[in-house]
Amino acid sequence: MRKIKGGITAPAGFTAAGVACGIKKGEEKDLAVVASEKRCVAAGVFTTNRVKAAPVEISRRRLRRQRSAQAIVISSGNANCCTGQRGSQDALRMAELCAEVLAIQSGDVLVASTGPIGKFLPMEKVDQGIRHAASRLRKKGAHDAAEAILTTDTVTKEVALVETIAGARIRMGAMAKGAGMIAPKMATMLAFITTDALIGEEALQECLTNAVDKSFNRITVDGDRSTNDMVVALANGLAGNRTIRRGAGLKPFQKMMELACAELARLIVKDGEGATRFITVTVKGARSFAHADKAARAIANSSLVKTALHGGSPNWGRIMASLGYSGASVKRDLVDIYLCGIRVARGGAAADLHAGKLSEALQGNEIEVIVDLNLGGFEQTIWTCDLSAEYVAINK
């Protein structure tokens, strides 16, 4: 498996476009369309927040009714959430107009939006934007589309892979957005994946669900969960491979999707609002995976831990405190803590260490936190970032 260029349009049969239509101020791109030349098998994973935006409700309902789609229309700069009946009508209108200009069925268009909550979409501008984007659909439109879905992001997030699976060269492309309000349980994060693989409906959904669990569900920037989270995958079958089904034959494709999603997830954390450090938190030696997960998430979401690591402080007591309230099974006198490979706590107490070496290690752009509970054989890893004054400036 290797990385290739092309982003969301790397697979055969996909085109994309991103344009500015006036949802955002200025000339920033704010509307994207991704389309396939033929109908695709489709899968989706959506936010577990009980307050869901209209596009989430509509796209989720469509994928429950039929596991197929041919296009996705995405707006940024407005979440279209908490907008009542009009919000639902506007989301449906986006799908209908996109279908009309692409000459496909309205039910084959999925809708996504991201941005501030509680405002109506400027539909006249959105209508014009969809028409404009549809007229600009092209193979080289991937980067424009990746730009158009951003909000507080500072960089685009794209990846493309190729691998020989089931007798054919299969390509996969993906793009995502997200920098704040990130603690997915599939934050405002969106991700879209395309592939030219021929794959069964159940197999694609299984792969996507598993990949999300190992990537987007393992990241946190600020502990907030969005109303608009969505990850959608489209597979058009143009690679001409033998049909991929559930079972042993699914593993190579599963690995491919996991790699794509993990790459995007890491890019989201690295671009976290105000972030200066990428932090990997691993809790091992837990009595169960659930205990490891609770402990790792408590550490990764702790404002005190995140601000300490922002300042390069080796304050491992904050890590110990977050373990204590995490809900995981913890025995204080068994806990070992490592920062950047240096043991700072042994058996729940301070370890002898070289302070200068640790201080130097904590100045890097990537920091690794490892906690060994010494209670069992389960572990979990969560990716997070530091918490800076800039985060407050962005969100105040």
The verdict on 175 and 254 lying in the same domain is: yes
Residue ending a domain, among 222, 240, 270, is 270
pLDDT given at position 187: 41
- Give the pairing type, strands 157-165 and 109-114: unpaired
Domain CATH number, residue 261:
3.60.70.12
Is this model's pTM higher than 0.75 or not?
Answer: yes
Look at the chain and count its residues.
Answer: 396
Q: Are residues 318 and 374 in the same domain?
A: yes
Q: pLDDT tens across 310-319, in order?
A: 988 888 999 9
List, for residues 23-55, the tens digit of each pLDDT value: 998 899 999 999 999 999 999 999 888 889 999
Mean pLDDT for all residues in the chain: 92
Distance CA 263, CA 272 (A): 14
Residues 324 and 265 in one domain: no
Domain limit, last residue, from 228, 251, 270: 270
Task: List pLDDT tens digits, range 130-178.
Answer: 999 999 999 999 999 999 999 888 899 999 999 999 889 999 999 999 8
263 and 298 assigned to the same domain: no
Domain-terminating residue out of 226, 242, 270? 270
Which residues, other chains included, contact 307 with Cβ-Cβ below 8 Å and sequence gap of 6+? 386, 387, 388
CA distance 358 to 339: 8
Query: Residue 359 is part of a domain; what is its CATH number?
Result: 3.10.20.340
Q: Is 162:4 a contact under the CB 8 Å cutoff?
A: yes
pLDDT at 186 over 50: no
| Same domain, residue pair 324 and 228 | no
Write down the catalytic residue from 188, 194, 220, 227: 188
211 and 119 within one domain: yes
Same domain? 151 vs 25: yes
Residue 59 has pLDDT above 50, yes or no: yes
Residues 76 and 207 in one domain: yes
Do 298 and 193 share a structural domain? no
Please tell me the total count of domains within the chain: 2
**255 and 143 in a common domain:** yes
What range defines the domain where residue 378 resides? 278-395
Residue 188 designated active-site? yes
Nearest to 184 by CA among 155, 137, 234, 218: 218
> Which DSSP helix (H) or strand (E) runs through 206?
helix 201-213
Same domain as 231, residue 88: yes
Pick the closest to residue 77 from 3, 137, 134, 18 (CA basis): 18
Q: Are 226 and 303 in a shared domain?
A: no
Beta bridge partners of 343: 338
Residue 371 neighbours by CB distance under 10 Å: 28
